[in-house]
Homo-oligomer: A and B are copies of this chain.
Amino acid sequence: MKTNLGPRNCLYPMPTTLVGATVDGKPNFITIAHVGIATPGMITLGMGKTHYSNAGIREHGVFSVNIPSEELLEKTDCCGLVSGREIDKASLFSIFYGELDRAPLIEECPVNMECRLVKTVEFPTHDLFIGEIVATHCDEEVVEGGVVDFALVKPMLFVMNDRSYWRLGDRFAQAWSAGMELRKRLKASD
């Protein structure tokens, strides 16, 4: 039996990220889980206009997306609870830079992406920043066979509905493979 919850966003879980930007000349980080993938090489950030970081992303046209592991729970959650206007959040982390000198990266996060802003879509309350990934840095320990193994990253998955963080479970199937037999049957019966 279906129930209508009204217009409730249930596109969860989403990966929790720490977005880095240079604001008022200094590195700042904000916790954002309202993210997305626009194209294979482009990332979206849905950020409320009241945030301190938005002006820095607009000014310099770059940002970083850092993926914290669950060991960074306290610091990651804190970066969503306090504004860079009040607190120097960069002091919580060791910072490094890659190719974009205004996109601060967090050493303690196992995955770090540098992005160049390609488009900003404005809504009344939010900016949707769309960035192209320029370079991706990872801890060597989370890379297996040339690709990131997310079991080793231990990301914090976010669900807004009950304001919770979840662990990633186990890898249980291969994509573009699990449905191949059914595809054959459908094509044969067509």
This chain: how many copies in the complex?
2
Residue of B nearest to A46 (CB): B38
Assess whether B179 is in contact with A78, with CB atoms less than 8 Å apart: yes
Q: Which residues of B contact A164 (CB under 8 A)?
A: 171, 173-175
Assess whether A11 is in contact with B37, with CB atoms less than 8 Å apart: yes
Q: How far is the CB of A141 from chain B (nearest CB, A)?
A: 8
Q: List 30 A-B contacts (CB under 8 A).
A: A1-B139, A3-B138, A3-B143, A5-B143, A9-B43, A11-B35, A11-B43, A13-B13, A13-B168, A34-B37, A35-B36, A36-B37, A36-B44, A37-B46, A38-B44, A42-B123, A74-B178, A77-B179, A78-B180, A78-B186, A80-B175, A82-B187, A121-B121, A121-B130, A150-B161, A156-B173, A163-B176, A165-B172, A166-B169, A167-B172
Residues of chain A whose beta carbon lies under 8 Å from any beta carbon of chain B: 1-15, 17, 33-44, 46, 65, 67, 70, 73-82, 86-87, 96, 98, 107, 111-113, 119, 121, 123, 125-126, 128, 130, 132-140, 143, 146-150, 155-183, 186-187, 190
